[in-house]
Amino acid sequence: MSTNASTATATRKLTIARAMAEATAQEMRADPRVFVMGEDVGPLGGVFGNTRGLFDEFGPDRVRDTPISETAFIGAAVGAASDGMRPIVELMFVDFFGVCMDAIYNLMAKNTYFSGGKVKVPMVLMTSTGGGYSDAGQHSQCLYGTFAHLPGMKVVVPSNAFDAKGLMTAAIRDDNPVVFMYHKALQGMGWLGTEKGATVPVPEESYSVEIGRAAVVREGHDVTLVSLGVGVHHCLRAAKALEEEGFSAEVVDLRSLVPLDRDTVRASVARTGRLIVVDEDYHSYGVSGEIIASVAEHAGCRLKAAPKRVAYPDIPIPFAPTMEQWALPNADKVVAAFHQMMRES
Amino acid sequence: MQPTADQRRWMYRHMVLSRYLEERIEALYMEGKTPVFNMAKGPIPGEMHLSNGQEPCAVGVCAHLSADDIVTATHRPHHIAVAKGVDLDAMVAEIFGKATGLAGGRGGHMHLFDAAVNFSCSGIIGEGLGPAVGAALSRKLQGKSGVAVAFMGEGAANQGAFHEALNLAAVWQLPVVFVIEDNAWGISVAKQASTAVPRNDLRAAAYGIPGHHVADNDVEGVFAAAGEAIARAREGQGPSLIEIETARLAGHFMGDGEDYRPKGEKEGLQARDPIPRYRQALLDAGVLDEAGNAALVAEAHARVEAAIRFAQQSEFLPPEAALEQVFAGESS
C-alpha cells in the first residue's frame, strides 16, 4: 500500500459489511480459487450485507446460494478446500452451529492434524454474532469461547471496518481454516442499530491485518480494559467517562482469539496493574476467564486489585428489551466495575 | 458393463490383499489383549473395525477410479484404502501409530489421509458425504476431470447429512457417486429395525437421481453399477446412489461378541464369503488358474508382511510431536 494512496483514501469510511465484501472481491479478482457459498449470499448480498455486489461481479458459479443445508455445504467447503480451492462459507447466525458443528470441529479443524499436515484446509467460515435487538436466544449469541476452545481453527473478531477488511484478506490467504465472527451491531445495516465507531476510514487497496495480534486502541495507565467486537466500543466509552473522573484507561482490542495475543494483554496489565475484561459472550468458561487466567498464571503477574469481568450472565438471551438490555454489557457496567475495583483495593 | 480379464484379476488381487491385511491386523491387535481384553493394550490399541466380507464394494468401485479421483471412506476403511491405492507401508504404520505413518501416528486407523491418491476417511457416520460433494464442486469449478465417491454404511442413510448431501449434489449436478455398503447392521441394530425402506437406493427417487441396487455381495454387480454411475458423473450428468448388499464377517469392532445376531446368521455369511466365491468364478471362467492363484496369494501375503515389518521396525515420534501440525505450515 503506497503512502499516497492511503492518504488519498483515508477519508473514505466503510461499514464492516462493505469492508468484508471489498476484501472478498479483491481476493476473488486476484485468485480464481476463491469462491463464496452460503444461504442468501447471492443476489441478496447476504442477510448482513457482507457479500453485497459479489454476485453481480463474479456470477452464480463463484457466489453460490446454497440450500438450507449447513452440514452439507460446510462439509463441502472442507472437501473443496482440501482439493485446492479457497472457499468462503457463511453460517448465517453463529447460533445455527448446532446443526453443523461436526463439519466444523471434526473435519474443518482436524483434517490438517490427522493428515500430519499434508492436507491443508484453507477456508473462511464467516458468521454473525451478538444481540441487542430483541431477537432472543437462538439468534443473539456470541459463542466466541465455544469456537476458540476447540483446537485447529483460527478465530478472529473485528471491532471496526479497517480491521475487518484486513482480517478478511488475511483469513482468505491463510492456509488454515479461519472463523470470522462479525457482530451484527457493527455491520452498518440500516435495520440493525449500528455502533458508529465501527465505521472507519478504510483504504481502497488490498492489505492484511495479521491474525493473532491484538491492538492497543487507547493508551492509559490506571487500568487495562480488554475486549473484542462490540465490547471494544463499550470500553472506549467507559475510558472516556473514566477520563472525566481523572482516571486513565488503556483499551486492548483482542481482534483475534486464536491465536491469542497474550503478550500484548500481559504487557498492558504490567503497566496498569489492573484488569477488566468485557465480553458479550457468556460469563463462565469463556473469553473473560481465559484472559484473566492468562494474566494471573504468568510469572510476571503483579496486580494491584483482583481482576474483574463484565460479561453476559449464564442465561439464555431473553426477548423482552427490558430484560435483554439489562443483561448486556455496556459502558456504565465497565465504569461500575472499575469503581468497585478501586473500593476493594 | 463387463470387467476385462485384467480388471477381474485386479479386483480379486485387491480383495485378497485387503483380507490378508485384516487377518494380520486382527492377530496383531489381539496381542496383549488376552486373557483380559483391554482396548488400550497391545501394539495396535484403540477401536478396530475390520472390513472382512465388504471387499466387493471397494474393488468393484475403485476399479473405475484413478489416483486423481476422490474417495471419502468410513470408520471401516481398510478395504477401500487398499483398493484406492493408499501407500500400504504408510497406512499400516499409521495403524500402529508410528512416525512413518500417514500422519505420524496422529490419526490411527479411522483417520487415514493419503493426498497422493485423494483418499480420506473419518470416524463419524455420514461425515464424508459433504466433503465428497465439495471435492466434486472443486473439480467442476476448476474445469478439471475427476469424480468423487463417498462410501458409507447403510446406517448413514438415516443421518441428516445424507439428505443434505444428496440434495446438494443433485441440485448442483456434481460428479459424485454415493456408495452404501449395506452390511445389515448398525453396530447391534438391524437395518430393518432402523430404516423405513427396505432398500436405500430407492431414496434416489427423492433427489431425482439414478439409484442402483446390487444384491448378494456380487463383485461384478458392483463393478457394473459403479461403472454406470461413475461414467455418468464423468460425463457431467450428475450424481448417483448405489446400495450394495454386503456382509460384515468380523464384528462391528474387535471385541464385539455379536450376541445380537440371530443364531446361524454368521455361519451363513461365512459360507457365502465373497473371496472364495470370486476365486471359483475366475477359475471357472478361465481368467485364473490354480498356479496363478497361488502366486497371486503369495505375492499379496508378502506385500502385507513387508508393510507390517515396515511398521513394526519404525519408531514412534517423540510424544511432544503431538503439539505439531495443528495448523498448516508447522514443522513436524
Interface contact A119, partner B, CB < 8 A: yes
Which ipTM score applies to this complex? 0.96
Indicate yes or no: CB of A79 within 8 angstroms of CB of B137: yes
pLDDT, position A194? 84
Q: Which of B188, B177, B189 is nearest to B152 (CA)?
A: B177
Q: Which of A138, A137, A47, A128 is nearest to A93 (CA)?
A: A128
pLDDT, position A4? 43
Residue of B nearest to A67 (CA): B168
3-state helix, strand, coil split of chain B in percent (to 5) is 50, 10, 40
Q: What's the grid cell of residue B25? A: 491386523
Q: What's the grid cell of residue B153? A: 454404511
Q: Looking at domain B5-310, what is its CATH homologous superfamily?
A: Thiamin diphosphate (ThDP)-binding fold, Pyr/PP domains (3.40.50.970)
CATH topology of domain A3-201: Rossmann fold (3.40.50)
Position of cell 443445508? A69
* Residues of chain A falling short of pLDDT 50: 1-7
Q: Out of B72, B165, B332, whose CB is closest to A72?
A: B165
For the segment B27-62, what is each residue's pLDDT rounded down to a tens digit? 999 999 999 999 999 999 999 999 999 999 999 999
In chain B, which residues have their Cβ closer than 8 Å to the Cβ of A118? 102-103, 113, 115
Sheet holding A63-65, edge to edge: A63-65, A34-38, A86-93, A124-129, A178-183, A154-156, A256-258
Domain A215-344 architecture: 3-Layer(aba) Sandwich (3.40)
Share of chain A above pLDDT 70, in %: 97
DSSP one-letter code for B228: H
Interface contact B111, partner A, CB < 8 A: yes
Cβ atoms of B314 and B94 closer than 8 Å = no
Q: For strand B113-114 and strand B119-121, is the pairing parallel, antiparallel, or unpaired?
A: antiparallel
Catalytic residue among A39, A70, A90, A250: A70
Indicate yes or no: CB of B131 within 8 angstroms of CB of A72: no
Q: Which of B221, B330, B230 is nearest to B278 (CA)?
A: B221
Position of cell 472481491? A25
φ, ψ of residue A227 to 5 degrees: the values are: -155, -170
Rounded Cα–Cα distance for residues A165 and B46 (Å): 45
Catalytic (active site) residue A70:
yes
pLDDT at B220 over 50: yes
Q: For strand B211-214 and strand B189-190, is the pairing parallel, antiparallel, or unpaired?
A: unpaired
Where are chain A's structural domains? 3-201, 215-344
Q: Out of A33, A77, A112, whose CB is closest to B134?
A: A77
Catalytic (active site) residue A233:
no
For the segment A231-281, what is each residue's pLDDT rounded down to a tens digit? 999 999 999 999 999 999 999 999 999 999 999 999 999 999 999 999 999
Q: Please identify among residues 234-293 of chain B the ones whose CB lies closer than 8 Å to any CB of chain A.
A: none
Helices (H), chain B: 5-30, 55-62, 78-84, 88-96, 129-142, 160-171, 191-194, 219-234, 265-271, 274-285, 290-313
Interface contact B328, partner A, CB < 8 A: yes
Indicate yes or no: CB of B328 within 8 angstroms of CB of A176: yes
pLDDT at B330 over 90: no
Q: What would the 3-class secondary structure string for A286-308 be?
A: CHHHHHHHHHHCCCCCCCCCCCE
Where are chain B's structural domains? 5-310
3-state helix, strand, coil split of chain A in percent (to 5) is 40, 20, 40
Indicate yes or no: CB of B107 within 8 angstroms of CB of A67: no
Q: Out of A107, A114, A154, whose CB is closest to B131?
A: A107
Which of A83, A154, A260 is best to mutate for the B interface (most B CBs within 10 A)?
A: A83
Cβ atoms of B114 and B94 closer than 8 Å = no
Q: What are the residues whose beta carbons fall under 8 Å from the beta carbon of A299, sequence distance 6 or more?
A: none
pLDDT at B265 over 70: yes
Distances (CA, A) of A342 to A246, A273, A274: 13, 12, 10
